[in-house]
Structure 1
Amino acid sequence: MGEKIKTVTNGIEERLLRNGNWEEIVTSVNEETLLRKIDIRNIPLFTLLYTICFLDRVNIGNAKLANLESDLGLTGHEYNWSISIFFVSYVLCGVPSNIILVKTKPSTWIASLMIGWGTIVIAMAFVTNYFQLLVTSFLLGIFEAGLFPGIIFHITKWYKRSEQSYRISLFSSGSVIASAFSGLMAFYVMGLDGIFGLSGWQWIFLIDGLITVFVAFFSYFLIADYPETTNWLTEDERKMINNRIQLDSGQISTTNHDNYQIFEAFKDWKVYIGSILFFSVSVTEYSFVFFLPSIVYGLGFDSANKLKISEPERFLNEKNGEEELRLGDKHPSFIYCL
């Protein structure tokens, strides 16, 4: 281990010495046990948050089956725009949101985002025309844009680069959970149609929004910001995590984020290749998610049978994604997965 430390730069070695004796820490802390401890505290929580986020994003597809279009007098073109406008703000606000997160705290910012979009979803239950639906959908994109990149940023503070992809795939499974069970949830919620004078689609938005705000409150207390500020870690465990990240990052600062780094990203061709690939996947995925309820309904199936039809595909898709990212963690290049 001493030889390993000598292979890194003096700056890294000095930081390790300030954090304590590396040999003693390795002896007192089992690395695999520590990783399991971190996983148990972080991954299930982030999976829940992303499940709620994705559910709030796609519930408009189920709301359509609950007479959203007819009650608001929407044309098919207007309904499509009410979906598309979400992604305009979603794309524009992802980077600014993470800049704010870095300057605040993950727990504070993520909980604030959830309260924001939960309130917007509740407001969507009371829209009365196309313009109001368009505005609320645009605002929803602003608040939801920060969750996914925010969680990824958080993961980089706890795991080495070779450990991150698999964790990302685990919490991303929340989208599969939301897609698979959103239809069944909507099926039962639509049974509230007419209660307190609210239509079924209004109940879908209202209940989803209230759940989001409720979970947001607890997420503020459950999200562990950084290893050095977490009370469920021992002092040696904190040092172990920080030293692992510092050794893994080399000379790259993991604490300071300068504005020039943002512009450097726009000069990297890999960013554009990744964007094109993600765009291609997203077009297919979201088309499937938003319009599957209508397609299945048109075939004569109800919402419960829609769940039975879509769930196997979702499960296989998620398991395939997990295995690809597990492979990516073991190889220096993701070309094997792509």
Structure 2
Amino acid sequence: MADDDTIKGLSVEAESSRTDDTELTPQEQRRVIRRVDARLIVMLGFLHTVSLLDRGNLSTAAVAGMEKELHLQGNQYNIIAVVFFPPYICLQMLGPVLIRRLGPKIFLAGICFIWGIAMMCGGFVHNWAQLAGIRIIIGALEAGFFPAAVYLIATWYTRYQMQKRFAIFYLLGCVASAFTGILSYGITFMNGLGGLTAWRWIFVIQGLLTCTLAAISYFVLINFLDRMRSNKSRFLSDREYDFITHQINDDRGDVRLEPFNLKKYLVAALDINIWGFGLVYFCTTSTAYSIAYFLPLIYRQGMGFSMGASLCLFAPPYVAAGITMMATSWIGDKYRLRGPIIVFNAMLALIGLPLMTFTKGNGPRLVGCFLTTMGANSNVPAAMAYQANNVRGQWKRAACSAIFVGLGASGGMVGSLVFRSQDAPEYRPGMLTCIGLQAAAIVLVGLLTIRLYLRNRRVDRGELVIGDLPGFRYTY
């Protein structure tokens, strides 16, 4: 599913302290991690890629003629964009439970295949209300994917292996977003083929791509570590399963799945830290979704670029974002930093947004587009690792993943609403909202850092045990 260089790039230096217990050399340990990366991170990354394509192709379809053919007026485009999010938010909590119940192959591959079919149906609508209905269905189906995928990834890796994995998982989607415009521009040359206009082919082709990858994922994805080990899966040997199990137990001691308890699952919502991490993610995704939904329109309406240029210029900022994402994730894992990485990325967006908002001329505004896209998207895996590093227990991790992703989806709703058609072409209220949210993210990280530092001090004095694991300390 990926070339050897990509898989090697995913790998981290395996801990050799357990070599006596596992009878694996450091080279063998790294090889095991690469095998997990190839089957889990890369495949989930491709599925996340099509989820972002199917979620974000609305703006490219609008530029390619959808607004004109469906006679969109007033805030109808905003409604089509925002109706995706209520079911997406409300059904988040089901994802981690269902993936545990049904397994990754059936659950993830199944929902991806069905939403791919729904996406293809978007190419045959006759009015905006029908398209809004399809967006509601896709939102309901996609709701379980992201929290389930984040939960599955977190069960296979130690805390300081996670950010690079989350970065690769998100990076594949980011690269896809980068080339969505170029792909859509190529599809526009199918205009009139089979009686369908160009924007309709965008939905049909990308829906077909989703169904194809969903079918492949059924044969590639791996199950949870504890199930693979207990079922004697031939994916790894007993010694290799032991190595990963020891590595995770040494890090946070939660490989074993405790029996499901609805009260314990829901009581995780009372942890104030989770809401702090989630609000950081909310601030991040508000800007990231705004860019995804409105950047082509800003190019076309605000900067005067042609349709082809507007679609193709969507790519370069996302390529830059991918490079920034990997660089900051490598630094974060190597030096065990979380909060400072988020602050750095938020500062990039805080520099970029005013350039987009207040400067004249396309040059500085394009620089602002780059910096904003780099900062907002790089903070997605950073915020995911921030949350995942500070949670213990599998069911609490599952519940927290759902809350976290749900707040992120709420950010998507904000991003869809604050960029109103009546504010075009400058979209100043939306830009100012994003500036405020990036500043709020920095403040939240500062408050969380103080709180986690003080609680770690209590652990050091023997006054506190976090997550029923003596010696466990927060990462900030």
TM-score class, shorter-chain normalisation, is 0.7 to 0.9
> What is the alpha-carbon distance in structure 2 between the residues aligned to residue 251 and residue 283 of structure 1?
32
Shift >6 Å, 4+ stretches: none
* Aligned residue type for 1:34: V
**Residue 188 of structure 2 corresponds to residue 190 of structure 1:** yes
Query: How far apart, CA to CA, are the structure 1 residues paired with 2:258 and 2:309?
Result: 49
CA deviations 1:45-65 (Å, max 9, x no partner) are 222111111011111111112
Aligned pair 1:143/2:141, yes or no? yes
**Which amino acid is the alignment partner of residue 124 of structure 2?**
F
Distance 1:287 1:28, change over 3 A: closer
User: Matched residues in 1 for 2:311 and 2:121: separation?
Assistant: 27
In structure 2, do the counterparts of structure 1 residues 199 and 311 end up closer, same or farther at CA, with 3 Å as the change threshold? closer
Contact 1:180 1:311 survives alignment (8 Å): yes
Q: Specify the code of the residue in structure 2 equivalent to 1:26.
A: E
Q: Distance in 1 between matches of 2:339 and 2:62?
A: 40
Q: Deviations over 1:127-172 (max 9, x none)?
A: 1122211111111111112222222121122211221121011110
In 2, Cα distance between the equivalents of 1:219 and 1:268?
A: 34
Q: Does residue 243 of structure 1 match 2:240?
A: no
Report what 1:23 is aligned to.
20
Contact 2:119 2:207 in 1 (8 A): yes
Q: Any gaps of 5 or more consecutive residues in structure 1?
A: 1-20
Aligned to 2:446: none
Matched, 1:312 2:307: no
Structure 2 spans left out of the alignment, 5+ residues: 1-17, 343-476
CA shift, 1:116, in A, is 1.7
TM-score, scaled relative to structure 2: 0.62
CA distance in 1, matches of 2:149, 2:166: 9
Match status 1:175 vs 2:179: no
d(CA) in 1 for partners of 2:112 and 2:202? 17
Asked if 1:107 is matched to 2:110, the reply is no
Shift of 1:331: 5.3
Q: Find the partner of 1:35 among 29, 33, 36.
A: 33
**1:5-154 superposed matches below 5 A:** 23-27=20-24, 30-154=28-152
- Aligned pair 1:288/2:286, yes or no? no
Instruction: State the distance in 1 between where 2:262 and 2:332 align.
Output: 30
1:303 to partner: Cα distance: 4.7
Q: Distance in 2 between matches of 1:260 and 1:332?
A: 33
TM-score (norm 1): 0.86
Is the CA contact 1:125–1:206 (under 8 Å) kept in the aligned structure 2? yes
Distance 1:154 1:320, change over 3 A: same
Q: Distance in 1 between matches of 2:112 and 2:135?
A: 15
Return the letter of the residue paired with 1:264. Answer: V
* SS, match of residue 126 in structure 2: coil
Greater shift in the superposed pair: 255-264 or 92-101: 255-264
- Judge conservation of contact 2:175–2:322 (CA < 8 Å) in 1: no
Q: CA deviation at 1:189?
A: 0.7
Counterpart check, 1:301 vs 2:305:
yes
What RMSD over aligned residues (CA atoms) do the two structures have, in Å?
2.3
Post-superposition CA distance 1:197-224 (Å, at most 9, x none)? 1111111101111111111111101101
Is contact 2:181–2:315 with CA below 8 Å preserved after alignment? Answer: no
